[in-house]
Chains A and B, each alone.
Chain A
Amino acid sequence: MARAISRNSKIGWTVAAWLVALIIFFPILYTIITSLKTEQEAIAGFDLIPSFSFSSYETVQNQNNYFRPFMNSVVIAVGSTLLALIVAIPAAWAMAFSPTKRTKDILMWMLSTKMMPAVAVLVPIYLIFLRTGLMDTRTGLVIILMLMNLPIVIWMLYTYFREIPGEILEAARMDGATLRDEILYILTPMAVPGIASTMLLNIILAWNEAFWTIQLTTTNAAPLSAFIASFSSPQGLFWAKLSAASTMAIAPILILGWFSQKQLVRGLTFGAVK
């Protein structure tokens, strides 16, 4: 039976929920508002009504071309995600469908790499990048972000694959499917919703990554995260321009997230809600 909720308490909770949502969203909102101010308005103090001046956007675009870091972000986010999937699908397959006594340990070990702060391995990775010529290249960033997100991708895919009944894969084996056929024709199409949400989440994570992208790039391969950062240090007092740059950097992923939210929520609650 559905629990009875009185009209008044329903209104109360709705207002409270909106309030919490607003508090969480406020920093982003204020960034957008500030980006629409002039520099004078921006430093003048707290004010929610901007003058809707687009001059900051113009300056940002003229000073630092937005298009180049944007393309870098796209290539790095999508590239590292695809590469991660190519590695993670067979790995998750193996752990989900032919587990050994150590499978759980391997999963834990992979996750444990995410528990270490990234800065702890900065020096060795920096040196490797320097010596191998990967510094400030898209290839280098694709590789490092793929490696950083791989544990999460494998974990998510492993959870989805476990939901697929093993008998279906056995049926495919009886029907003459090789391992490749099994993954290609049966497992992957059945896991498409799971793979799609893993992909989306990973693109978002890679897009927003701001440690390695800033440390390992200068100009050529710098994505949008570095683009924002470049406004914060030498021109730290120009709030409006910084906000404009931030807004331009997060806009694509915000739009992507908005359109795919249904898929994302389904993906993140997979297994819990059917």
Chain B
Amino acid sequence: MGRITLEGVAKRFGDVEVIPPLNLDIEDGEFVVFVGPSGCGKSTLLRLIAGLEDVSDGRILIDGKDATDESPAKRGLAMVFQSYALYPHMSVRKNIAFPMKMAKVPLDEQNRRIDAAAKALNLTDYLERRPGQLSGGQRQRVAIGRAIVREPSAFLFDEPLSNLDAALRVGMRLEISELHNRLETTMIYVTHDQVEAMTMADKIVVLHAGRIEQVGSPLELYLRPKNAFVAGFIGSPKMNLFSGETAAEYGAATIGVRPEHIGVSTEGGKWKGRVGVSEHLGSDTFLYVEDTGLAETITVRSDGEVRLRHGDTVWLTPNEDKIHKFDQGGDRID
């Protein structure tokens, strides 16, 4: 079981309020991603749940029990750190065994769990090596192995993939998702990468300056962002946001159109502009259109066959049904 509830949890460092009081429910077995720009308090929130930081206010309930003042070890949670935080002087086997040694698990049971974890994570051949002799991806797997053998009620991941190169990151992303499907244990995952958030999460928590901006499934956030911040943060490439006269036409202070919801034509359309940079990915083409008078650049996602070059004049037409409207305070208007 791994149901985690935050009730009015707040964190202050001296006079600085890093996290204003917030409430959050994490259901058993859910994969929850905390996402937000750097400095938004997502890692601090995770550390509060882990017990590595003390809360300034509020309560943390784990499976209905108040764990606010429990030590990290007693909370039954396992954490995977960004730097992996392996014990450099111990072999992989001893690293994985360490939490079980602390919990005084019988030796044969320890070995059984180590072998099972090593098999699942492709580490069997590396058990006698030191962390220094492993690659980044292997170290990450050892860190996960160390977490698995504890059989925790929830896993906490603090930006676990940010030290890996791009190709490895995609691979590990899949492995962690598979692990979640297999174990069906609650996982809380912190990242600043919204692609990781969209691809892995059951539920995304978007944080900004310590506040929760929106909680929802990846599609909910994509289709109905609650405010301009979430609209701009979720989705890649970013949503185009316009204010001023264009927005006033739609009765809003700000409007947003995703790059994939703008049509391009060389003959005619709603907004006229000039192609600045065009990026051909094969499957798609990203056009950065300038001189529209609406915003510095408008990003458009077009199909891969489009052959437009720097300096070409184009006409853009937004899909009217897919325009998001926000009021003066940035909140969504329906």
Contacts and interface: CB of A to CB of B under 8 A. Distances in A.
A177 B102 contact: yes
A189 B98 CA distance: 14
Contacts, number: 57
Contact of B83 (A167, A186, A190): A167
Interface string A100-119: 00000000000000000000
Interface in A132-171: 165, 167-168, 170-171
Nearest to A173: B72
Contact of B52 (A173, A181, A186, A190): A173
Interface string A165-192: 1011011111111000100011001101
A186 B99 contact: no
Contacts of A170: 52, 72, 79, 81, 85
Interface string A49-72: 000000000000000000000000
Given A181-B102, A190-B89, A175 B83 contact: no
Contact of A190 (B50, B73, B79, B88): B88
A176 B89 contact: no
A191 to B, nearest CB: 10
B60 interface: no
Interface string A63-86: 000000000000000000000000
Contact of B73 (A165, A167, A177, A192): A177
Contacts of A186: 87
A176 B85 contact: no
Nearest to B156: A174
Interface string A188-203: 0110100000000000
A174 B85 CA distance: 11
Contact of A175 (B52, B88, B150): B150
B89 A174 contact: no
Given A170-B52, A170-B81, A175 B89 contact: no
B77 interface: yes
A183 B138 CA distance: 27
B146 interface: yes
Interface of A: 165, 167-168, 170-177, 181, 185-186, 189-190, 192
